[in-house]
Structures are given as C-alpha cells and as structure tokens.
Amino acid sequence: MRIVSPCWKPSVEGENSSNGGDTGGRAEGLLWYKDSGQHVNGEFSMAVIQANNLLEDFSQLESGSMSSVDPGPQGTFVGVYDGHGGPEAARFVNERLFENIKRFTSENNGMSADVINKAFLATEEEFLSLVKNQWLHKPQIASVGACCLVGVVCSGVLYIANAGDSRAVLGRLERAIKEIKAVQLSYEHNASIESVREELHSLHPDDPHIVVLKHKVWRVKGLIQISRAIGDAYLKRAEFNREPLLARFRLPEPFNKPILKAEPTILVQKLYPEDQFLIFASDGLWEHLSNQEAVDFVRSCPRNGVARKLLKAALREAAKKREMRYSDLKKIDRGVRRHFHDDITVIVLFLDSNLVSRSSFRGPLISIKGGYGVSGNGNT
C-alpha cells in the first residue's frame, strides 16, 4: 500500500474564485498538480515533482490584495523557492516572503522594486535569526539555503526578482511573424556564468579563491554554485563557519564580509497585450528544456494541465539522456530519483490583457502554498 500526503497545503481566502473556491490540487505518487485555476490577471497551472528524499522545492501563488491593509492594490504573486542542503530555508521563505512584501507595500503605499528588495532582505534577516537561535543544537541549519524567484503582476506592471538560478520566461506574441517568442526575464546567479564570476572577483578582490573550478564545475569557495540565495548562513557570517558545523562546510581562512548575497536582481516592465504567459520554474526544468522549447510547448497545449505536461516533457528528456524509457524512470523512488533529475516546480501564469489593465478589478482571492512533502513510490 502506498500512502500519499499532499505536497501542497492549500489555504483559501474567500469563496469567489471562478472555479468555485477550490484551490486544492491532486497528488499522484511523487507528482502534485493543480491543472487550472483563476487569478486576478487570468488563469494559471501548477505542478511539482519530487526527486529528493525530502522535497526541497517550495512555492506559492497568491492572488488578491498585495497589501496588508484593505483595500490595497490587487495583483498576483508567484514564488518559486528551490532549497539546497535541506528544505528548511525554502519552507521558511514560503511562509514569510509574501507576508513581508505585503507589509512593505502597505508601508510604502504601493508596489515597487524597492518593496520587493526590502522584503527579500527582511526575510533573510529573519532566517539568519532563526539560524542563530538553533545554532547550538542544530548547526546543520547554517548550511541550508534557498534560491528565490518571485513574480508580481500589479497595476499592469510586471516585477521579476531573482536570487539564485531559477528562471522566469515570458511568451510574447510577435505579430509580424505570428509566432510566440521566448523572452528570459530573470538573471541567474550561478558561478558557471562568466559575468557572475567577474562580479564575485570584483566584490572580493583580495580573495584569489573566491571561485574555484572543481571537477569541471565552477563553485563559490569550491563549495556552492550559486552566488545569491536566502540562507547559507555559513557563507554570510563567520560566526556560523566553525564547529559544530560539519567540517566540509568550514573554510580554512576567516572572512569579514558575506561571501554570498541575498539581494535579488529585479526587472520591472509594463505588460502589453502581446505578453501571453509567464513560465516560472526551478532550474530542474531548464536543465532539460530550452526557453523556446518550453514556450512552444505551452503555446501548443491546452491551458488545462499545461504545467503538469510541461514538467513531464522535461522528465522524458531526463530519461532520454540516460538512455532509458520514461516508463522506467517513473518507477524510481525518491532519493534515488535525484540521480536522474532534480525536484522541479513549474508555474504557468496566463495573462488576460483585459484583466491586467484593470488595476481596480477585485478578482478571486487565492492562496496556494506548496512543498509540504510527498511520500510514496514513483508512478509519475
């Protein structure tokens, strides 16, 4: 017998959504999906697949007020949090980041890039305080972090914020050629990218070993590929880079400034009728599909269930790379599955230009928080 616990914990505010107020999804083995739903600016589709023993991807979709006071600006918030070293940081961000965004939106009388930046940094400080409180009895938490990708659609404006290597891609209609082109909106902070290595060298000019090529992979201090994330306290504060932290995380020399940053890079742009949909996904999807392949897939599929189908397309590519059948990959259990692909989260946000332009529109109030773990066999 297989016992499956929901990997997403739905929380609904109000009962006025177009799908009857039901925001719950379905679980099939290691797969969770919400095939369709309505947000303030259109429709959405979501899916997540577990590969690790403990699911380290968390995510959320919030639709309604972007402020902690009512009435506030209406909009849609998407967050994809890809944990590493454990699920604790991603779970924490899932609970706190949007709450901080609502707080700063209220304090600043509106949404802005500064609001989002403040929310990231406040969430970081809250998590580092948690690390300090748990340090003596749970030192492992100092080595846990989360890549954080956020999208906000509010008053006809799109905000994309990223710290880490998840990715947001826009599907934009090119009317002249009647095709939908992929436009990458987020900047990835991964040491495999030359500009990221250059940034690290400029921030740490006195450290010749700030990035190290190890087994043909560039890593910050030879330990981690990403240069920005929430958490990873052992590379932010020297007080956490010592015993009782495991030896493999401890640096041989002290440091007096944070090695990693939590500050995101932020893009702000107006939305136009040509902007058809957004794909938010953890890096596990982009390991197997290009931006244009993902956009073409979404364009060619019915909206209902498109996130789940896109995720499965990536899994088929993962199986092909290992010269195996997708049907065989589906039989592999969590933990072992991580040797074939990562935890993957996909959220597709369709944009209805009529709704995007109506900043006063009071649409469905929906809150879906994801990533509370799936137990069971493969079969996905």
In sequence order, what are the residues at sequence separation of 6 or more whose Cβ sits closer than 8 angstroms to the Cβ of residue 222?
A: 209, 212, 214
Range of the domain at 124: 8-186+264-370
Task: Let me know if 156 is exposed, middle or buried by CB neighbors in 10 A (0-12, 13-18, 19+).
Answer: middle
Kindly state whether residues 173 and 199 are assigned to the same domain. Answer: no
Kindly state whether residues 280 and 210 are assigned to the same domain. Answer: no
Kindly state whether residues 221 and 365 are assigned to the same domain. Answer: no
- The answer, yes or no, to whether residue 288 has pLDDT greater than 70, is yes
Kindly state whether residues 214 and 329 are assigned to the same domain. Answer: no
Specify the number of domains making up the chain: 2
Work out the number of other CB atoms within 10 angstroms of the CB of residue 125: 13
The residue that leads in pLDDT, 133 or 374, is 133
347 touches 288 (CB < 8 A): no
Instruction: Among 60-69, 74-83, 305-314, name the one with the lowest average pLDDT.
Output: 60-69
Indicate whether 1 belongs to any domain: no
Q: What is the mean pLDDT of residues 126-147?
A: 97
Instruction: Among 9-23, 60-74, 212-226, 357-371, name the one with the lowest average pLDDT.
Output: 9-23
Taking the C-alpha atoms of residue 234 and residue 216, their distance in angstroms, rounded to an integer, is: 24
Indicate whether 258 belongs to any domain: no
Work out the number of other CB atoms within 10 angstroms of the CB of residue 296: 17
Q: Helices in the chain by DSSP H: which ranges?
A: 88-107, 113-134, 194-203, 283-286, 291-300, 306-321, 326-329, 353-356
pLDDT, one tens digit per residue, over 185-203 is 999 999 999 999 999 999 9
Kindly state whether residues 12 and 93 are assigned to the same domain. Answer: yes
Q: What percent of the chain has pLDDT over 70?
A: 88
Give 117's Cβ-side CA count (13 Å radius): 10
Work out the number of other CB atoms within 10 angstroms of the CB of residue 356: 25
254 touches 206 (CB < 8 A): no
In sequence order, what are the residues at sequence separation of 6 or more whose Cβ sits closer than 8 angstroms to the Cβ of residue 136?
A: 244
Kindly state whether residues 143 and 124 are assigned to the same domain. Answer: yes
Q: What pTM did the predictor assign? A: 0.90
State the CATH number of the domain containing residue 279. Answer: 3.60.40.10
- The answer, yes or no, to whether residue 365 has pLDDT greater than 80, is no
Indicate whether 285 belongs to any domain: yes
Residue 334 CA, chain-centre distance (Å), reads: 20
Indicate whether 80 belongs to any domain: yes
82 touches 147 (CB < 8 A): yes
Q: What is the mean pLDDT of residues 275-292?
A: 97
Kindly state whether residues 100 and 208 are assigned to the same domain. Answer: no
Indicate whether 299 belongs to any domain: yes
Taking the C-alpha atoms of residue 293 and residue 270, their distance in angstroms, rounded to an integer, is: 25
Q: What is the mean pLDDT of residues 105-131?
A: 97
Kindly state whether residues 208 and 157 are assigned to the same domain. Answer: no
Strand 167-174 and strand 179-184: the pairing is antiparallel
Map residue 291 onto helix, strand or coil. helix
R_g of the chain computed on alpha carbons: 20
Kindly state whether residues 29 and 95 are assigned to the same domain. Answer: yes
Q: Which two tokens stand for residue 61?
A: 């979709």
Strand 42-49 and strand 31-39: the pairing is antiparallel
The residue that leads in pLDDT, 250 or 19, is 250
Predicted confidence band of residue 363 (pLDDT cuts 50, 70, 90)? low
294 touches 279 (CB < 8 A): yes
- Write down the pLDDT at residue 359: 53
Taking the C-alpha atoms of residue 167 and residue 239, their distance in angstroms, rounded to an integer, is: 32
